Amino acid sequence: MIDIRLVRTEPELVKENIRKKFQNEKLGLVDEVLELDRQYRETKTRCDELRSQRNSISKGIGALMAKGQKEEAEKNKAKVVEINNELGELAELEVKLENEIRGRMLLIPNIIDDSVPIGRDDSENVETERYGEPKVPDFEIPYHVDIMERLRGIDLDSARKTSGNGFYYLCGDIARLHSAILTYARDFMIDRGFTYYIPPFMIRSEVVTGVMSFTEMENMMYKIEGEDLYLIGTSEHSMIGKFIDTILDEDQLPQALTSYSPCFRKEVGAHGIEERGVYRIHQFEKQEMIVVCKPEDSPEWFRKLYMNTVDFFRSLDIPVRVLECCSGDLADLKVKSVDVEAWSPRQQKYFEVGSCSNLGDAQARRLRIRVRDKEKGNYHPHTLNNTVVAPPRMLIAFLENNLNEDGTVRIPEPLQVYMGGKKLIG
């Protein structure tokens, strides 16, 4: 959510940002907010005037009674009653206008960074960097589910019976590999100075609307029936949510946190064969990183975060590239975002394994997170998040890039200690 003062002072800038995101249907929101804000401020001013009048009249009633001017005192009491009645109506209107303004402000997209490429959708994202040499072996790479089934590491049929499509059983060395990757990711981030967390896996609706847009919420979140609780789609939700209604001292920044959680997502829509198996699923596990920092430090942290993912994948000999997300591909809360994509020898192209986002102060405004500054006054910090690794999807890249011709799979050295010293799965 952007600062309403920006809408007041630079409405055309806000509208141009909406156009850059190809959301022209939202242009009217800016004018609606301006009109509602005008009414709100007029109402608030009138309320303040009435309270002042009431206080002044009320103070004089006692003096009038002391002087024996009972009739005049009764007239003033009647005036106070009239003021209270008008105040009651205006107070209700004030709250109504405030809620209507907030509802519209939540729909107005965040101001994107000047460096973001302008484009309608993910087809116009821009590759910025590559790390590692993508290779295609001289033997055929099977579909990732076939690799896992040959290693007796996955059971999709049983999962369909118990839970439906979009679920799986991992077993044996593949299940162990899955856990090894997460444990390695945890230690990798701790070694880089991040504090490790295991957060709640359910959050309240106030936190949900604080960390994401309504569109994302509808497409992603599972609600617990009969309760004000949602299953998290990523630990970023509960990790940023932990700061709700918090005032941090400036010397407490930056907050650099890494968190493990299961993730639950609707994953709405139909997908091709390459996105079945364990690519798009309703339940998976992930290691995440979250930063809360001073606004001036967020660009530097943004690069640090996505380079952590790059370095993690490169430590396991998986080639990756970085894609800058264009304006039309950015979620409404994001200022800037990049995807980290891993090389698929089977498809001979890259696919997404992580997403890094700078959300500016949008989440902090929604969740009322502030930083105490005695000289400049309190301000909203910037929040950032990034995927370290989501093993089900990462397993595809891992298996394809480490597959031997005989069907065995190499275990890179950093993972061997987490696999009981194994150097090979077969």
Place of tokens 């405004």: 365
Half-sphere exposure of 15 (CA within 13 A, CB side): 13
Q: What are phi and psi of 67, to 5 degrees?
A: -85, 0
Judge whether 352 counts as a catalytic residue.
yes
Please tell me which residue in 32, 72, 352, 410 is annotated as part of the active site. 352
Domain boundaries, the chain: 4-105, 122-425
For residue 280, CA distances in Å to 64, 146, 264, 288 come to 77, 16, 11, 18
pLDDT at 34: 96
Judge whether 365 counts as a catalytic residue.
no
Helix or strand holding residue 258 (H, E): strand 255-264
Amino acid at 424: L
Please tell me which residue in 186, 265, 366, 370 is annotated as part of the active site. 265
- Evaluated on CA atoms 387, 388, 392, 393, the torsion sign reads positive
Tens-level pLDDT at each residue, the chain (426 residues)? 899 999 999 999 999 999 999 999 999 999 999 999 999 999 999 999 898 888 888 778 777 776 777 778 778 888 888 888 989 999 899 999 999 999 999 999 999 999 999 999 999 999 999 999 999 999 999 999 999 999 999 999 999 999 998 899 999 999 999 999 999 999 999 999 999 999 999 999 999 999 987 777 778 899 999 999 999 999 999 999 999 999 999 999 999 999 999 999 987 554 455 446 777 789 999 999 999 999 999 999 999 999 999 999 999 999 999 999 999 999 999 999 999 999 999 999 999 999 999 999 999 999 999 999 988 889 999 999 999 999 888 999 999 999 999 999 999 999 999 999 999 998
Helix or strand holding residue 398 (H, E): helix 391-401
pLDDT at 277: 72
CATH number of this structure's domain 122-425, picked from the four choices 3.30.930.10, 3.40.50.720, 1.10.760.10, 3.40.640.10: 3.30.930.10
Closest-CA residue to 74 (of 84, 60, 86, 87) = 60
Please tell me which residue in 235, 366, 393, 400 is annotated as part of the active site. 393
Judge whether 133 counts as a catalytic residue.
no
Q: What are phi and psi of 333, to 5 degrees?
A: -85, -10
Q: What are phi and psi of 3, to 5 degrees?
A: -70, 130
Judge whether 303 counts as a catalytic residue.
no
Q: Say how far apart CA 426 and CA 418 lie, in whole Å.
A: 17
The arrangement of secondary structure in 4-105, i.e. its CATH architecture, is Orthogonal Bundle (1.10)
Residue 216, judged by CB atoms within 10 A of its CB (0-12, 13-18, 19+), counts as: middle
Judge whether 393 counts as a catalytic residue.
yes
pLDDT at 270: 45
The angle, 0 to 180 degrees and rounded to 10, between the axes of the packed helices 11-20 and 27-66 is 150
Please tell me which residue in 280, 365, 366, 370 is annotated as part of the active site. 280
Q: Say how far apart CA 59 and CA 80 lie, in whole Å.
A: 11
Q: What are phi and psi of 387, to 5 degrees?
A: -80, 125
Please tell me which residue in 238, 261, 355, 357 is annotated as part of the active site. 355
CB 346 within 8 A of CB 321: no
pLDDT at 73: 79
